[in-house]
Amino acid sequence: MATTKDYRIGEYTFPRGWFMIAESTELDTHKPLAVRFFGKDFALYRGRATGKVVLLDAYCPHMKTHLAAPNKTSYVVIDGGGTNIDGDSIHCPYHDWRFGPDGKCDNIPYHQGEIPAAACVKSWIVKESVGAVWVWHDPEGGEPDYDCPSVPEYDDPAWVRGPYDHLGMLNQHPQEVVDNICDYGHLNPIHGSFVERYENEFKGHNATQRQCGGHRTLVGADGVSAKLHTHTTYHGPGVLISYLTGMFETVLLISHTPVEDGSLKVWHWLLVKSPGKNAVATRTDAITAAQYQESSKLAFAQDFEVWTQKAPCLNGLFLPSDGPFMKARIWYKQFYNPRAKRQEYLDQCEGLYVPRGATPYTEPKAAA
């Protein structure tokens, strides 16, 4: 397992950006969730008053009790009806200090007088979008400098929303996963794609891949592949959203969030436009979409299998006929360094790139 320092990516161990930390359905208003990302423990819960999601640093400033670890025995939890969530606040199970969604302690039942200002935990910027909870992680402590990932088709009833596939932990640095956005040379041998046209573009916080061709993995239930056009974009360092037009119109989301320095958690998810072309997706549509999601997961598993076995690529032997790995690695550095340096990296990587010998991408011709 190699670290950010080994890859010489930048000053910060963990990147700035929006990161998925849970599925929305994992949170009810009864059970806080202990989660760990960016080498830190957090308490995640849904407020009972507003339904809003709150993310706090996990450990109570009093005596370092975990605010969200499962607890069945404290009277704080028993008297709370089996939960320590109270309105939009959370009680520490040990001595019952209460913390608001802003992370400030606003009640200590046995203490008269002022509550010290130090009685607080950090409250993080969180949003819910596309059925997931996202945190804005920022080593500089700044406000988000781009929007939380979203997919407009998510609320359209013609689209079938697949469940999140939890792909679990990967003991690799996220650099290995992000390299995939420009890995032209792996598409045929790993995924069985017959790539006809290909290009990458880096711009601001987005890294995009456009390609088209046939595919041996991403096929329908009949085992047949239509020619696939894919527009795949990293929105910041941790989430990739891909628009695919092939067998079906599809939106694919792959999200990865660092857990420790050199490991990450990965989710995969698909949104499929009604295969039967219905305005409201039917049960039959849902069955076809589920089969297609399984194919898509298998395509991703082809990458995953290699990632679980490979050594860290600290110095690759890259060829001009490979995709623009070095440009992608410079693009990725913007998230591991102070904002003040961002332009410096963008000046070195922004632009459109076609591997030597490949044909640049063009949009599909509109049907007559």
* Residues at the site binding ligand FES, with contacts judged by CB under 6 A: 60, 62-63, 65, 92, 94-95, 97
Least gap, CB of 180 to Fe ion (angstroms):
5
92 binds, among Fe ion, ligand FES, none (CB under 5 to 8 A by kind): ligand FES
Instruction: Give Cβ neighbours of residue 2 (< 8 Å, ≥ 6 apart).
Output: 173, 262, 312, 314
Task: Give me the amino acid identity at 218.
Answer: L
The partner in contact with residue 60, picked from Fe ion, ligand FES, none with C-beta cut-offs of 5 to 8 angstroms by kind, is ligand FES
Long-range contacts of 60-66 (CB under 8 A, 24+ apart): 60/92, 60/94, 60/97, 60/99, 60/121, 61/105, 61/118, 61/119, 61/120, 61/121, 62/92, 62/94, 62/95, 62/97, 62/119, 63/94, 63/95, 65/92, 65/93, 65/94, 66/34, 66/41
Closest distance between ligand FES and the C-beta of residue 38, in Å?
23
Residues 158-197, interacting with Fe ion (CB under 5 A): 180
Q: How far is the CB of 91 from ligand FES (least distance, A)?
A: 8
Give residue 107's identity as a one-letter amino acid code: N
Q: Which of 303, 322, 341, 350 binds Fe ion (CB under 5 A)?
A: 303
Q: Which does 12 bind (CB under 5 to 8 A by kind): ligand FES, Fe ion, none?
A: none
Binding mask 216-235 for Fe ion (x = CB under 5 A): --------------------
DSSP state of 262: T
Of the pair 179, 260, the CB lying nearest Fe ion is at 179
Among ligand FES, Fe ion, none, residue 261 binds (CB under 5-8 Å by kind): none
Q: Whole-angstrom Cα distance, residue 80 to residue 45? A: 15
Nearer to ligand FES, 35 or 67 (CB): 67
Cβ closer to Fe ion: 91 or 268?
Answer: 268
Under rule CB under 5 A, how many of the chain's residues touch Fe ion?
Answer: 2
Radius of gyration over alpha carbons of the chain, in Å?
A: 23
CB of 48 to ligand FES, least distance (A): 20
CB nearer ligand FES, residue 99 or residue 198: 99
Shortest reach from residue 317's CB to ligand FES, in Å: 53
DSSP H helices, the chain, are 4-7, 75-79, 174-178, 187-191, 283-309, 325-333, 342-349
Which residues lie below 8 Å from residue 268, measured CB to CB, with a gap of 6+?
A: 164, 165, 167, 252, 253, 254, 255, 296, 297, 300
Q: Based on CB atoms, which residue is closest to ligand FES, 123 or 291?
A: 123
Q: Distance between CA 346 and CA 327 in Å, rounded?
A: 9
Indicate whether 322 belongs to the interface with Fe ion (CB under 5 A): no
Nearer to ligand FES, 111 or 166 (CB): 111
> Could you tell me if 210 and 199 are in contact, meaning their C-beta atoms sit under 8 angstroms apart?
yes
- Give the one entry of Fe ion, ligand FES, none that residue 95 binds, where binding means its C-beta sits below a cut-off of 5 to 8 angstroms depending on kind: ligand FES
Residue 303 binds which entry of Fe ion, ligand FES, none, with Cβ cut-offs from 5 to 8 Å by kind? Fe ion
Distance CA 105, CA 87 (A): 14
Residue ranges that bind Fe ion, judged by CB under 5 A:
180, 303
